[in-house]
A and B are shown apart, each in its own frame.
Chain A
Amino acid sequence: MTDTTRPPRPMGAYRPFFKRAALTACLLAIAPLGMAATLRIDNSAEPGTLDPQKTSGTWETRIVRELFETLVSQDAKGDLVPGLASHWQLSDDGLTWTLELRDDAQWSDGQPLTAGDAVFSLRRLLKPELAAHNANLYYPIKNARAINAGEAAPETLGVHALDDHHLEIRLERPTAWFLQAIAMPEAAPLPEHVLKESERWIVPGNTVVSGPFKLSEWSPQDHITLDKNERYYDADKVSLDEVILYPLEEATAALNRFRTGALDISYTSVPGGRFQQLRQELGDALRVSPLVGEYFYMFNLKPDSPLGDIRVREALNLATRREVITDQLLGMGQTPSYWLVPRVTEGGTKGEMPMAQLSMDKRMARAHELMKAAGFGPNNPVKLTLRYNTLEDHKKIAVALAAMWKPLGVEVSLVNAEAASHYAAIREGDFQLARYGMVATINDPYDFLGSYTTGGSAARSSGYHDETYDQLVEQSSETIDTGERAELLTRAQQRLLDDYALLPLYDYITTALVSERVHGWEPSPMDVHPLRYISIEE
């Protein structure tokens, strides 16, 4: 009603992230047997771009990974396996990677794919004009940061083609997680011969690709169709002939379509309030798996904030009944957390906040003591403003937190805002307590801990600063030995947790709906499900 007469179309914005799909699917489903194997996926959102170097979200990389094969690839579970590079090797000083490319790799237009394409691609990625969101992951490469800042020419990048099939990457310093970065679509080789001609090169039906699928149709906000790329080096192992992706954002819309059989896989999160009911109805089709991501509240630690006082921060952590949030409010199997680095992250980081071992009674008793010591209590309440971005689950949690802290004499005013305003406020440090979520870009503790090092995004917003912490994280990055590195990272995280520098709530999970006709779909902590391993029953 409100949305008919004026551009704002008010009610709609309630579902901030939706998309839509098309029904071609239905017709295809009743197509004659013996036809091509078609998989219909709800991709959860409309991709902003299919240029692998400009992407910023899973709904983009999910497609881009199928179009452009990376040097180091991922298997059905998300583990690193050979891709375009059949072998790789790190020098003893940890500074030089040498990758050997397969000799049967080619572009979809028949041109050979060479190490030169890889060099071209990484130089392009770091050009400031390209403004790649994830360029910083490649700063460990020699000269990369200077190039990205416009202070050096792209040709000075420490990446060289030794010959058509050998690539050498020199680093500024040893970097334990660098192979993860090489496995990202940003670093996938790009067809230099095409890009030299035009920067408008993502053209449906005509994009030159290297991966198992080609882009055959792209109708914005409607659907994207991928067709099998017969020139892909492993084409005979790819079972699907065609994949149609619909950008459905609305959970109920995606669910309804899955129920009517118009979708084989849905990546839109299922509606939270109905999880138990859906679990009964859908059984094994509803897949819930841990995700490398953490849901927490950021504290503003700057001295003028009441949260600059560690006693208040600990008290809030003590009085937060995480199980109530995960079991009663959300009920989808999230793990309550007392840490920043999700447990499912690779790299073996351990540790938790010291208070986690206390019983609830002891926690509350201690919380009251701490608040009293800090000079607050029912007669002298501490007033806090809590910010969250508008979303049903965020609201539920914020409301519950305010109620949980009330007995401590904490008066919380809740302030919600749409996402852009919310994150702008965080960026500018204009908050006391702010809802925040971190989902890993690379499956490594550094992705979380790095943000709290001086100059990192969380440190800039929250005002966290600890030199020992910085040193430990720094050292861990340069340590190649896995065990030793895990030890350093655990120590670093422990400093953060001993400081109660944040309010962790739970480790993320991710949901997917996968039809029983689909085979080869595996849970993966980075939510990567390469289509080449997936098949569908007729």
Chain B
Amino acid sequence: MLSYIAKRLAMAIPTLLIVITASFFLMRVAPGGPFDGERQLPPEIEANLMAAYHLDEPLPMQYLRYMGNLVQGDFGPSFKYKDFSVTDLIAQGFPVSLELGGLAIVLALLLGIPMGVMAALRRNSTVDYLLMGTALGGIAVPNFVIAPLMALFFGVILGWLPVGGWNGGALPNLVLPVVALAIQQIAYIARMMRASMIEVLGSHFIRTARAKGLNERQVIWRHALRPAMLPVLSYLGPAIAGIITGSVVIEQIFGLPGIGRYFVQGALNRDYTLVMGTVVFYGILIVLMNLIVDLLYSLFDPQIRYDD
């Protein structure tokens, strides 16, 4: 097991290297640069800016310079947010995104898994249709529709909760964005859980367990749940990496200082250093989450082994 983890972590380095290299050149193919805006700059000033950010050097040279700095842990200054380094921006915003996303995932698991299990047990009953209909609603209505409606209803009309803002992470401020983030995940998890639970419940070993006279509760929670979690687990790896790095929609609608916006706006602004920072950060999370998921597989299904 330990040697497997070590091997995987060693693999992370070439993986990330490819991600960084491919992203670096990929983003430079896009038309437009960091200084293209409504106000066109006079040529002299554009030249000064290009020189100040070393954008006047040949691309391979810029790549080497970037990699050189990266090795020393320096992501460089943001082109757009000039008073902060990319590291500062991610370091200040990530705790916010992590808290929001983490809570949303916990909420989604706490609601989604029981919903799915219950629907599977009462298959094709009213309860099933009700639960899955609700879940489907969560999938059909995108969060850029639901989030403003929630802010309007609970914030402006009822006045129960703040319509937005971070406020140092105070609980009332967390409720709406966490719920808005979680809705979709609840729906996804519940749908997948139901499907795989049905599958597992029909399998031979569950029927054996029942035949042995175990009560239904034991059968479900002790024997059926873990193998049924496999597809959810596969889905969760990348999903968690995505959720804890923030959602630009939720951040904008609720005015939250997370890092989700940097992924989109960094790219739209051609803020090259910020884009690279988010790519590296996200890449590390993806590699880690998928490693954790792979390790958890063998915990959920002892037949899965990696030692070959």
Contact = CB atoms under 8 A, between A and B. Distances in A.
B163 A256 contact: yes
Contacts of A219: 92, 257
B155 A5 contact: no
Contacts of B173: 23
Contacts of B89: 220
B40 A3 contact: no
B114 interface: no
Given A20-B166, A252-B148, A220 B31 contact: no
A257 B42 CA distance: 39
A253 B52 contact: no
A7 B248 contact: no
B247 A3 contact: yes
Interface string A412-455: 00000011111111110000000011110100000000010000
Interface residues of A, number: 80
Interface string B131-164: 0000000010011100010011001100100111
B167 interface: yes
Given A7-B278, A21-B165, A220-B81, A131 B268 contact: no
Contacts of A149: 44
A22 B251 CA distance: 11
B257 A9 contact: no
B-side interface size class: 35 or more
A202 B83 contact: yes
Interface string B41-77: 1101100110110000000000000000000000000
Given A1-B139, A46-B81, A8 B92 contact: no
B252 interface: yes
A257 B265 CA distance: 23
A82 interface: no
B164 A56 contact: no
B82 A18 contact: no
A343 interface: no
A249 interface: yes
A13 B151 contact: no
B270 A420 contact: yes
A221 B249 contact: no
A11 B242 CA distance: 14
A9 B249 contact: yes
Contact of B261 (A21, A22, A221, A439): A221
A19 B166 CA distance: 12
B253 A252 contact: yes
A15 interface: yes
B39 interface: yes
Contacts of B297: none
Name which of B89, B172, B184, B257 has the most chain A CB atoms within 10 A of its CB. Answer: B257
Nearest to B238: A5
Contacts of B257: 20, 22, 219-222
Contacts of B267: 8
A420 B32 contact: yes
Contact of A9 (B41, B163, B238, B263): B263
A20 B164 contact: yes
Interface in B252-301: 252-258, 260-261, 263-265, 267-270, 278-279, 282
Given A131-B49, A148-B45, A253 B255 contact: yes
Interface stretch (A132-140, A307-315, A328-336, A358-366): A132-140
A229 to B, nearest CB: 20
A424 B164 contact: no
A91 interface: no
Contacts of B116: none
Interface in A126-183: 128-133, 135-136, 145, 148-149
Contact of A421 (B32, B165, B265): B32
B223 interface: no
B264 A8 contact: yes
Nearest to B101: A4
Nearest to A136: B42
B82 A11 contact: no
B261 to A, nearest CB: 7
A128 B255 contact: no
A375 interface: no
Contacts of A218: 83
A320 B51 CA distance: 43
B255 A21 contact: yes
A11 B142 contact: yes
Given A7-B279, A9-B248, A23 B184 contact: no
B167 A48 contact: no
A26 interface: yes
A136 B40 CA distance: 12
Interface string B162-186: 1111111010110000000100110
B33 interface: yes
B192 interface: no
A44 to B, nearest CB: 12
A315 to B, nearest CB: 28
B40 A13 contact: no
A426 B41 CA distance: 12
A48 B156 CA distance: 31
Nearest to A461: B40
B80 interface: yes
A457 B167 CA distance: 43
A12 interface: yes
Given A11-B142, A49-B82, A424-B36, A256 B156 contact: yes
B36 A420 contact: yes
A24 interface: yes
Name which of A23, A46, A148 has the most chain B CB atoms within 10 A of its CB. Answer: A23
A15 B145 CA distance: 13
A341 to B, nearest CB: 17
Interface string A1-45: 111111111011111101111111111000000000000000000
Contacts of B255: 19-22, 246, 248, 250, 253, 257
A259 interface: yes
A3 B248 contact: yes
Given A1-B143, A49-B81, A259 B165 contact: no
B239 interface: yes
Name which of A16, A262, A427 has the most chain B CB atoms within 10 A of its CB. Answer: A427
9 contacts: A1-B184, A3-B143, A4-B185, A18-B251, A18-B261, A23-B162, A23-B172, A148-B48, A420-B268
Interface of A: 1-9, 11-16, 18-27, 46, 48-51, 54, 56, 128-133, 135-136, 145, 148-149, 202, 218-222, 246, 248-250, 252-253, 256-257, 259-260, 262, 418-427, 436-439, 441, 451, 457-458, 460-461
The 7 A-B pairs of least Cβ separation, nearest first, read: A12-B248, A20-B255, A23-B165, A420-B32, A18-B252, A424-B32, A23-B167
Given A12-B249, A12-B264, A461-B40, 7 more contacts: A3-B247, A8-B267, A12-B144, A48-B83, A49-B81, A131-B45, A423-B40
